[in-house]
Each structure stands twice: as C-alpha cells, then as structure tokens.
C-alpha cells in the first residue's frame, strides 16, 4: 500500500537561503504518516483510546534536492516491515517527477506506560492492505 498526500511549501518554512528548512522536511514526512493513519481509520486519537502509542525509535532522512517557495510536493508513505511490536515505514518526498528526499522511520508499539505491545491485528491488516480509492 502506498499513501500519497500533497503539500505546498509556505514562505515561513524557508531557511535564510530560500530553501525549505531541513526540520520542515521531517514535519512534512510526519504529515504523510498521520494522514495515512487517519485514512485507514487509526488516527492517533483512536490508537490512544485503544491504549496503543506509536513511538519513533529510529529515523533516517536523506536530503537529495532543495525545495523552494511555492513548490508543490507529494509525500508517499508505505510500510516495508511489520513485526510484533516494530514497524518500518519508508517515505519519499516528490516534486513533479523527482525525488527530493526520502526517509525511513522505525516505530515501536507501546502501551501508555511505554511497555512494548503487539500491533493490533486490525491495524496490521489496514496498514498492509491496499488503500481504497475515494473515486
């Protein structure tokens, strides 16, 4: 399953060199992950109500090209690995036909006290099934 969301770069997200600030790339990737979870019916509020938290244990970002003011970019998100309490998410930031950055994030599923727990089976199924089109 690949989820895609669109974002337009805003002027206040730029660094002094008129490029998208490196920290904003990380935020955009997070928007992609949160939108995917909401799309499949497992927003952070739903997970919290079920006693599950997704905690980042590792994050690797590679910046390939600069992004500038007014650029439209897409964030593509997909899960590459699901284990009992660990998942690995791969993401790409795309402008037009070019990949401008990519990121790999490892999550642990925990209870509210931080103890590792299994991912709920219905969440695993939702994350690994094709996304239904809205059209």
Q: Give me the domain span that covers residue 25.
A: 3-128
Residue 133 falls inside a structural domain: no
Blockwise average pLDDT, block size 10, the chain, 135 residues: 94 96 97 96 96 97 96 97 96 98 98 96 90 53
In a domain, 27, yes or no: yes
Q: Which residue has the tokens 């284990």?
A: 83
| Residue 11 falls inside a structural domain | yes
Cα distance between residue 52 and residue 126, in whole Å:
15
Question: What does the pLDDT read at residue 118?
Answer: 96
Q: What's 103's domain CATH number?
A: 3.10.129.10
In a domain, 17, yes or no: yes
- Chain-centre distance for alpha carbon 80: 12
Check residue 130 and give its pLDDT.
Answer: 75
Domain total in the chain: 1
Distance of CA 48 to the CA centre of its chain: 18
Which residue is listed with tokens 């600030």? Answer: 21
pLDDT of 110: 97
Nearest Cα to Cα of residue 67 among 27, 9, 12? 9
Q: How far is CA 100 from CA 34, 59, 91, in A?
A: 20, 17, 11
The tokens for 106 are 């490892």
């Amino acid at each position: 399953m690949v989820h895609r969301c669109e974002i337009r770069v805003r002027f206040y997200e730029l660094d002094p060199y008129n490029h998208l600030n490196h920290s904003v790339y990380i935020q955009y990737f997070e928007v992609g992950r949160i939108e995917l979870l909401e799309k499949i019916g497992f927003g952070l509020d739903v997970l919290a109500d079920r006693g599950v938290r997704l905690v980042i244990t590792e994050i690797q970002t590679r910046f390939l090209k600069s992004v500038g003011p007014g650029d439209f970019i897409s964030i593509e998100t997909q899960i590459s690995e699901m284990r009992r309490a660990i998942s690995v998410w791969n993401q790409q930031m795309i402008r037009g036909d070019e990949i401008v950055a990519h990121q790999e994030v490892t999550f642990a599923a925990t209870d509210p006290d931080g103890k590792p727990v299994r991912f709920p089976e219905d969440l695993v199924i939702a994350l690994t099934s094709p996304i239904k089109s809205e059209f």
